[in-house]
Amino acid sequence: MTSAEFSHKLRVYIEDTDAGGIVYYVNYLKFMERARTEFMRSLGYGKDHIFSSNLMFVVRDVAVSYSLPARLDDELEVTAEIARVRGAGIVFHQCVRRGAEELARGEVTVACVDRVLVKPRRLPPEMVARLQLHKQVEA
């Protein structure tokens, strides 16, 4: 884990699985959403702050690759790392792990929109500055 990588632990519950006790594929997106939300909250951008700033984040693009299945009662670690911050968007690299095993990896682009108009708007400058401090180092 790099210093820019945020980590969120969670447990797989029966509601997350299919009839065979394996996590249903779309639930990995929910796990990633929770990690991004907790990451933003840790930076001071919880829902109260976002809404009071007339902002909202919406997923614009998502790509996920699945490697191994998670199962009922597994303890997972879901990471969120900022890859890029531009204009009205943030690109996150995310990973779902069980111990040392990588189960799924994704790239999620979120767009900042005006909460009332639901139209793209630039990220506030102070948010950009804080997010840049937590951006992964490009190799």
pLDDT band at 1; cut points 50, 70, 90? very low
Mean pLDDT estimate for the chain: 93
With pLDDT > 90 as the criterion, what percentage of the chain qualifies?
A: 87
- Catalytic residue flag (residue 73): no
Predicted model pTM: 0.91
Q: Which is catalytic among the residues 18, 61, 73, 114?
A: 18
Q: Check residue 55 and give its pLDDT.
A: 93
| Rounded mean pLDDT, 37-50 | 93
- Domains of the chain in start order, with CATH, are 6-133 (3.10.129.10)
Q: How far apart are CA 125 and CA 117, in angstroms?
A: 20
Produce one character per residue of 101-139: b if its CB has 16 or more CB atoms within 10 Å, e if not: eebbbbebbbbbbeeeeeeebebeeebbeebeebeeeee
94-138 residue pLDDT tens: 999 999 999 999 999 999 999 999 999 999 999 999 999 888 665
